[in-house]
Structure 1
Amino acid sequence: MHRIAFIFLLTAILASCSSKQAPELSKEEKAHLLGPNSSVSMRWHKVPGPDFRVYHGIPKSPAEGEIGFYIGGHPSFAPLAGSTRHAGKIGTHKVTWHRKTKSDGSIYQTTLFALDEDYKIHAWVLGKDPSELEALTLELGTLRLFSQTR
């Protein structure tokens, strides 16, 4: 029952990010998340929860797709049925991506890994084709949170 409630909550949060109800990150929040050499190719939104945060990045035109991640202690993670596993990285972290091609040809991949003993990351990337998926995955890896060793 808790898992269903959490999935519903996370879906509502992501929908609110997509419909631009969540404000973009401030300049200071962006610098903290992205680091001093941050890319300006993404619009970032943050949705705080009681004991977690969800970040959602949308590329500026003409690029498409999206990246995002949950950071907290209690993720609800379930790979899509029929997804395939792929070894990869997010910054300095080795991950196993669960990838699925959607009916429109776009590719969605998601992963779950421990950032440290307290926090887990549930990250996802959606790209219209393999090259965009790779570019957005690399963009996710440049975030300060993932590019620095702990």
Structure 2
Amino acid sequence: MKHFWFLSLLFLSAPQVSAQSVEVCPSLPANSGLEWTYSEGPDFDVCRAYVRGSESLAFGIYLGNHPSFHPARSDHIGNGKVASRRVTWYRQGPNDSDSAFFRHTLLTLDGKTGYVAHIWVAADTEQQLRGRLSVLERIVFKAP
């Protein structure tokens, strides 16, 4: 009987843990049509924005201190904004994505601690890319 209550408690608390973890992710604009999924690493968080009701990845954001992306090793392809802050977008590497329109950037969120956001965007058309970049301009990061 003790095991039953313990398992029941775990099942009841699981949705709350999952919901709290997504709270790490930036706020999406209300009309974005996107929803977050969340993954936790040993010392970082990853938020992936999917088109609501599908498996289509719009963009992802790594939050931590040790991103695998290094702008110095990539080709600059343009400028833009993420969370109302200026960024430089870089071309995909050979193994980054099958997406026709893929780019990524690095945004420092806390210069004192080196806490950064590595943001990548995947799109199949220019119109889709413009829409996703528009959403990224309007996201709001939470305090690290």
Indicate whether the TM-score tops 0.5.
Answer: yes
Equivalent residues in 2 for 1:1-150, closer than 5 Å: 26=19, 29=22, 33-34=26-27, 38-39=30-31, 41-60=33-52, 64-78=56-70, 83-100=75-92, 106-117=100-111, 118=113, 119-145=115-141
CA offset digits 1:77-116 (Å, max 9, x no partner): 146x88552111112211110135x997720010112112
Structure 2 unaligned spans of 5+: 1-17
- 1:39 to partner: Cα distance: 3.8
Amino acid at match of 2:88: T
What is the TM-score with the length of structure 2 in the denominator? 0.65
Structure 1 unaligned spans of 5+: 1-24
The CA distance in 2 between the partners of 1:76 and 1:31, in whole Å, is: 20
Structure 1 residues 34 and 114: alpha-carbon distance in aligned structure 2, compared to 1, 3 A threshold: same
Structure 1 residues 30 and 38: alpha-carbon distance in aligned structure 2, compared to 1, 3 A threshold: farther
The CA distance in 1 between the partners of 2:24 and 2:43, in whole Å, is: 22
Query: How many residues are aligned here?
Result: 121
Larger radius of gyration between Structure 1 and Structure 2: 2
Counterpart of 2:122 in 1: which secondary structure? Answer: strand
| Percent identical residues | 27
CA offset digits 1:109-137 (Å, max 9, x no partner): 10112112221111000111111111111
The Cα RMSD (Å) is 3.5
Please name the residue that 1:12 is paired with.
none
- 1:43 to partner: Cα distance: 2.5
Please name the residue that 2:11 is paired with.
none
